[in-house]
Amino acid sequence: MVAARYSQSNADYTLFVKKSSRKIVVLIVYVDDIVVTGNDIGEISWLKNFLGKEFQVKDLGQLCYFLGIEVVRSSNGVYLSQRKYVLDLLSETGMLGCKTADSPIEVKSHLVSQKSDPVDKSSYQRLVGRLIYLSHTHPDIAYSVSWVNQYMHDPYSSHMDVVLCILQYLKSAPGRGILFAPHDHLRIKAYTDADWAGSPDDRRSTSDYGTFVGGNLVT
């Protein structure tokens, strides 16, 4: 891609960008999956031909599904969700027919180490890892997932109970996601907050943040 005058991102080595005046084309590649977007139709067409000569590629049209993330377009903007990913996870864990939960974690819930029976570490880590990936389109579970993530190396049944509660919450709305709506600005806004020595284990504080670009949540 460098030969085609695309600049490789220092933040993400799978991301390549080409800018000219007010036009931009972005390419991201993950193993054998490629996404191309931008506002320069001519450059995008040239890039497709270039890739077709260098590699054996197939144009699948507009982006609908990428790495477990579903993409839906409407007049309101672009909606990202992981509905199929959630349903597959519920099916694999035997939770597809479970009762739903109104919240992914009880209000003011405090998880502490060694207060219950130990559970299988590999199963716990695999489940929490998949929940971490779901947090990309489910910021509503980010807090609870960060809690259970702290006990990846020493999980107990009380921690697994919270993991199962998160799955019950996801069952209530598997298609919930993030909407990227068009706005007339690209202002960057960031919000952060923290409790004070909230952890009962080590008295450390828990912090959180959200960053918006052009009115849309990005981190």
Q: What is the pLDDT of residue 207?
A: 87
CA angle 203, 208, 214 (to 5 degrees): 170
Q: Alpha-carbon distance 69 to 116, whole Å?
A: 36
pLDDT category at 197 given cuts 50, 70, 90 is confident
Sign of the dihedral through C-alpha 145, 149, 152, 154: negative
Checking if the pLDDT of 161 tops 70, the result is: yes
Q: Alpha-carbon distance 186 to 183, whole Å?
A: 8
- Retrieve residue 212's tokens: 């918006």
Q: What is the pLDDT of residue 110?
A: 63
Q: What is the pLDDT of residue 208?
A: 87
pLDDT category at 105 given cuts 50, 70, 90 is confident
Q: What is the pLDDT of residue 198?
A: 76
For the stretch 76-85, pLDDT in tens is 999 999 999 9
209 versus 203: the higher-pLDDT residue is 209
Average pLDDT over residues 128-134: 96
Phi, psi angle pair for 196, to nearest 5°? -120, 110
Flag whether the pTM goes above 0.75. yes
Residue type, 13: Y
Phi, psi angle pair for 50, to nearest 5°? -65, -45
For residue 22, give Cα distances in angstroms to 10, 39, 46, 192.
22, 9, 18, 33
Q: What is the pLDDT of residue 5?
A: 86
Q: What is the pLDDT of residue 17?
A: 95
Q: What is the pLDDT of residue 102?
A: 93
Checking if the pLDDT of 204 tops 90, the result is: no
Phi, psi angle pair for 21, to nearest 5°? 50, -115
Average pLDDT over residues 170-174: 95
Q: Alpha-carbon distance 4 to 18, whole Å?
A: 9
Q: Where are the domains of the chain?
A: 2-61, 63-182, 186-219
Q: Which residues are paired to 85 by β-bridges?
A: none
